[in-house]
């Protein structure tokens, strides 16, 4: 059975993400996933939940493949060649990483809001 992430869960888990870098060429059809991810990550609830979140958009006129990179509070990064992924696949990978961080923080007695 696939993992189900509710709105409440994702609103909490976004606190573990510090930066999102999205690079794409707006005239390239391969960029649909990158642009849709950018649209979803700019949701008001995410920005309200994590005011430290920095979303960097890199718009290029080159024919480079689109990519998305997430930076987390522990200093790790996860990068996707977004032309090969659907938005839901990228987000599910990110939510898995942040769920593990949430568990680790809880076991160590840390609070993500203090980071």
Phi and psi at residue 42, to the nearest 5° = -85, 15
Residue 110 domain flag: no
Residue 2 is predicted with a pLDDT of 65
From residue 46, alpha-carbon distances to 15, 25, 34 in Å are: 8, 25, 17
Residue 111 domain flag: no
Residue 72 domain flag: yes
The domain tally of the chain equals 1
Residue 67 domain flag: yes
Range of the domain at 44: 9-105
* pTM attached to this predicted model: 0.91
Residue 4 domain flag: no
What CATH number has the domain bearing residue 73? 3.40.30.10
Mean pLDDT by 10 residues, the chain (115 residues): 81 95 91 93 94 94 92 96 91 95 91 79
């Amino acid at each position: 059975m696939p993992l189900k992430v509710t709105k409440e869960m994702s609103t909490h888990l976004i606190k573990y993400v510090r930066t999102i870098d999205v690079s794409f060429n707006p005239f390239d059809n391969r960029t649909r996933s990158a642009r849709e991810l950018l649209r979803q990550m700019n949701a008001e609830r995410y920005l309200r939940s994590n005011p430290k979140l920095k979303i960097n958009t890199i718009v290029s006129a080159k024919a480079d493949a689109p990519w998305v990179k997430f930076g987390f509070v522990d200093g790790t990064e996860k990068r996707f060649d977004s032309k090969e992924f659907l938005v839901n696949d990228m987000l599910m990978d990110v939510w898995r990483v942040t769920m593990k961080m949430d568990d680790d923080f809880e076991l160590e007695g840390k609070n993500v809001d203090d980071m």
